[in-house]
């Protein structure tokens, strides 16, 4: 093996964040890049990211993200789109705004100042990397973009897509994203309301998904999923969500169908 590479082994703890944290302890460089084990990069990937950082003094340099299925020539979608000017430079608030209400830029394979990786929170949920991504961006003084490709493999059979407790973790992260917007964009009421609405809609969808699949799950997994959904519900201000986007029909239908959801709503409104 090339002497510049070091191979390490660790127990699989079921979270990419744990692996990244482990790796950071063995890195002494100023910048880091994380690459998925089933993804790919352009031949000039590292060189272009480093050059762009040097030219702009960026804290974070974001490559082009290409999602592929099967082989690298089968590109399903890309971020940012072809009209995006990747020569532009922006601050962290402008950068993170491009990830809210739909991803308009990617983040996989970004060159990141190591201190940002170390000082932003690694969440406990399987989708917490989506929140950490935004924390890194918003805390970057300078964000730049590089004309090189990160190839992200789309795998519908991935364990993260299987109906299991970790699938429902996303509802927690979506609730945390509302809190993120409240913290960093407190005056953008439309952004906060729309993120809250999306979280609420996603929560209803996941409740129905759980109920439709629960008979195929173990009793232990059922308990874990209900705990996650209840926690996600508890992180929401349902009164405010219903004011800006009434969904009484959905709520009433769920109340009639699911006794545990009825208990949840009654508990919330009786506080």
Identify whether 10 is part of a domain: no
One domain, residues 61 and 127:
yes
Examine the fold and report which residue of 153, 170, 200 is the final residue of a domain before the chain moves on.
153
Number of domains forming the structure of the chain? 2
Q: Which of 82, 105, 109, 149 is CA-nearest to residue 20? A: 109
Q: Which of 175, 171, 125, 176 is CA-nearest to residue 14? A: 125
Boundaries of domain holding 141 = 16-153
Of residues 25 and 42, which shows the higher confidence score?
42
Q: What is the dihedral of CA 74, 155, 233, 13, to 10 degrees?
A: -140
One domain, residues 100 and 224:
no
Of residues 180 and 27, which shows the higher confidence score?
180
220: pLDDT confidence band, cut at 50, 70 and 90?
very high
One domain, residues 114 and 180:
no
Q: Show the DSSP H helices in the chain as ranges.
A: 16-24, 45-56, 92-97, 114-119, 129-138, 170-184, 189-213, 219-234, 238-244, 248-257, 259-269
The percentage of residues in the chain with a pLDDT greater than 90, rounded to a whole number, is 48
One domain, residues 149 and 21:
yes
The percentage of residues in the chain with a pLDDT greater than 70, rounded to a whole number, is 83
Contact 217, 163 (CB under 8 A): yes
Q: Which of 44, 239, 58, 224 is CA-nearest to residue 136? A: 58
d(CA 16, CA 31): 19
One domain, residues 25 and 94:
yes
One domain, residues 183 and 144:
no
124: number of Cβ within 10 Å: 10
One domain, residues 168 and 264:
yes
Identify whether 205 is part of a domain: yes
Is there a cis peptide before residue 80, judged by omega within 30 degrees of 0? yes
Asked if pLDDT for residue 271 goes beyond 60, the answer is no
Which stretch, 57-61, 115-119, 165-169, 222-226, has highest mean pLDDT? Answer: 57-61
Q: Could you tell me the two tokens for 189?
A: 């009421």
One domain, residues 138 and 175:
no
Specify the range with the lowest mean pLDDT, choosing from 30-34, 36-40, 96-100, 124-128: 124-128
The confidence score (pLDDT) of residue 109 equals 95
d(CA 14, CA 266): 35
93: number of Cβ within 10 Å: 14
One domain, residues 143 and 175:
no
The confidence score (pLDDT) of residue 264 equals 61
The confidence score (pLDDT) of residue 16 equals 73
Q: At what angle do helices 259-269 and 219-234 cross, to 10 degrees?
A: 30
Reported as a single tens digit per residue, the pLDDT across 197-206 is 888 888 888 8
One domain, residues 186 and 122:
no
Specify the range with the lowest mean pLDDT, choosing from 74-83, 129-138, 240-249: 240-249
Identify whether 198 is part of a domain: yes
One domain, residues 42 and 83:
yes
| Contacts (Cβ under 8 Å, ≥6 apart) of 123 | 17, 129, 131, 132, 173, 176
263: pLDDT confidence band, cut at 50, 70 and 90?
low
Identify whether 8 is part of a domain: no
The DSSP code for 128 is T
Contact 146, 62 (CB under 8 A): yes
Examine the fold and report which residue of 107, 133, 153 is the final residue of a domain before the chain moves on.
153
The confidence score (pLDDT) of residue 10 equals 82
Cα 102 off chain centre by = 11
Residue 102 maps to which CATH number? 3.90.550.10
One domain, residues 147 and 26:
yes
Identify whether 11 is part of a domain: no
Examine the fold and report which residue of 87, 120, 153 is the final residue of a domain before the chain moves on.
153
| Contacts (Cβ under 8 Å, ≥6 apart) of 220 | none
């Amino acid at each position: 093996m090339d002497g510049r590479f070091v191979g390490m082994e660790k127990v699989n703890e079921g979270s990419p964040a744990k692996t990244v944290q482990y790796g950071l302890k063995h890195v002494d460089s100023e910048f880091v890049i994380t690459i998925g084990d089933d993804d790919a990069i352009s031949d000039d990937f590292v060189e272009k990211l480093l050059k762009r950082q040097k030219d702009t003094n960026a804290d974070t340099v974001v490559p082009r993200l290409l999602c592929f299925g099967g082989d690298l020539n089968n590109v399903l979608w890309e971020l940012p789109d072809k009209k995006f000017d990747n020569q532009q430079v922006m601050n962290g608030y402008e950068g993170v705004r491009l990830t809210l209400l739909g991803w308009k830029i990617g983040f996989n394979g970004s060159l990141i100042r190591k201190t940002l990786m170390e000082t932003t929170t690694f969440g406990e949920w399987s989708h917490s990397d989506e929140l950490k991504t935004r924390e890194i961006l918003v805390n970057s003084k300078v964000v730049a973009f590089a004309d090189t490709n990160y190839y992200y493999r789309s795998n519908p059979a991935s364990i993260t897509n299987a109906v299991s407790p970790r699938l429902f973790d996303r509802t927690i992260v979506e609730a945390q994203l509302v809190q993120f917007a409240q913290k960093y964009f407190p005056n953008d009421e439309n952004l906060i309301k729309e993120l809250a609405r999306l979280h609420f809609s996603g929560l209803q969808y996941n409740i129905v998904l759980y109920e439709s699949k629960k008979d195929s799950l173990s009793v232990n997994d059922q308990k874990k999923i209900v705990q996650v959904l209840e926690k996600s519900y508890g992180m929401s201000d349902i009164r405010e969500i219903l004011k800006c986007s009434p969904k009484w029909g959905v709520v009433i239908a769920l109340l009639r169908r699911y006794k545990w959801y009825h208990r949840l709503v009654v508990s919330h409104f009786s506080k």
